[in-house]
């Protein structure tokens, strides 16, 4: 009986933890927006949270599609690190000014063991709310679906188009250029 109760309690506890992961990520975004600091300082605030909350190697593998199979272990690890830098830089550029935005957690679903979908929304003044569904595995985010559009699907299509025209080295150059663009835009007044 105790084992049965424990087996019920474990998934509930795990999914509660997953909601806490998303809450922690949202809190970091709000804090970055409120901080009024430079781009690099916002990167410093967000990087530890992204590293702890996102499954960067899974995001890297799925984003690269078939190209992932052509890479050795070192190249895969380096790409995962670069992708993490890109994700942090993107958030540091986009979440820059606080204007009464707030995140609301709506529900937590468990489609499979060790998986969860945390449904949330971003509420903004004078604009429609944005639904943000976080997909987690093992307590870490691997996909975000914003208003029905999957971030992972966008990355797969975007990166495949670049790899087909410029190769994997071209993709790395494009990502480094995009991080520089985020830094330039994120520091603009």
Partner 1 sequence: MHLRPVWLVVLLSLSGCAGREVPQTEAYDPWEGFNRHSYAVMDVADRAALRPLARGYAAVVPAPVRAGIGNFFGNLRVPASAVCGLLQGKPARGGTDLARFIINTTLGIGGLFDVASRVGLPFQDEDIGQVLAVWGYKQSRALYLPVLGPTTLRDLPGDIVNRLLAPRWLLGDGYGWEAATIDTVGQRASLLTATEARDSAALDPYAFTREANHQRRLDRIYDGSPPVEDFLEMDDIDAR
Chain residues binding partner 1 by CB under 8 A are 58, 61-62, 64-66, 68-70, 90, 93-94, 115, 126-127, 135, 137, 142-143, 145, 147-150, 152-154, 156-162, 165, 171, 174-175, 178, 181-182, 185
Least distance CB 132 / partner 1 (angstroms): 13
Residue 147 half-sphere exposure toward CB, CA atoms < 13 A: 5
Least distance CB 138 / partner 1 (angstroms): 10
Identify which of 33, 75, 32 has the alpha carbon closest to the alpha carbon of residue 57. Answer: 75
Least distance CB 21 / partner 1 (angstroms): 17
Q: Which is nearer to partner 1, 26 or 182 (CB)?
A: 182
Least distance CB 142 / partner 1 (angstroms): 7
141 by DSSP, 3-state: which?
strand
Show the CA angle centred on residue 34, arms to residues 28 and 37, nearest 5°: 95
What is d(CA 54, CA 134) in angstroms, rounded to the nearest whole number? 10
Q: Which is nearer to partner 1, 40 or 147 (CB)?
A: 147
């Amino acid at each position: 009986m105790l084992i049965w109760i424990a087996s019920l309690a474990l998934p509930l506890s795990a999914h509660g933890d997953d909601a806490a992961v998303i809450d922690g990520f949202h809190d970091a975004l709000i804090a970055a927006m409120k901080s009024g600091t430079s781009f690099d300082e916002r990167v410093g605030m967000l990087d530890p949270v992204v590293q702890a909350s996102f499954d960067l190697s899974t995001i890297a593998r799925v984003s690269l599609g078939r190209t992932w199979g052509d890479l050795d272990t070192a190249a895969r690890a380096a790409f995962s690190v670069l992708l993490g830098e890109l994700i942090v830089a993107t958030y540091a550029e986009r979440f820059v000014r606080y204007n009464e935005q707030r995140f609301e957690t709506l529900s937590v679903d468990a489609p499979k063991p060790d998986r969860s979908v945390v449904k949330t929304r971003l509420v903004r003044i004078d604009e429609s709310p944005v639904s943000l569904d976080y997909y987690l595995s093992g307590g870490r985010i691997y996909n975000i679906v914003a208003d029905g559009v999957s971030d992972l699907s966008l990355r797969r299509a975007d990166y495949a188009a670049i790899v087909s025209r410029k190769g994997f080295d071209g993709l790395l150059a494009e990502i480094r250029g995009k991080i520089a663009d985020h830094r330039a835009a994120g520091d603009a007044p």
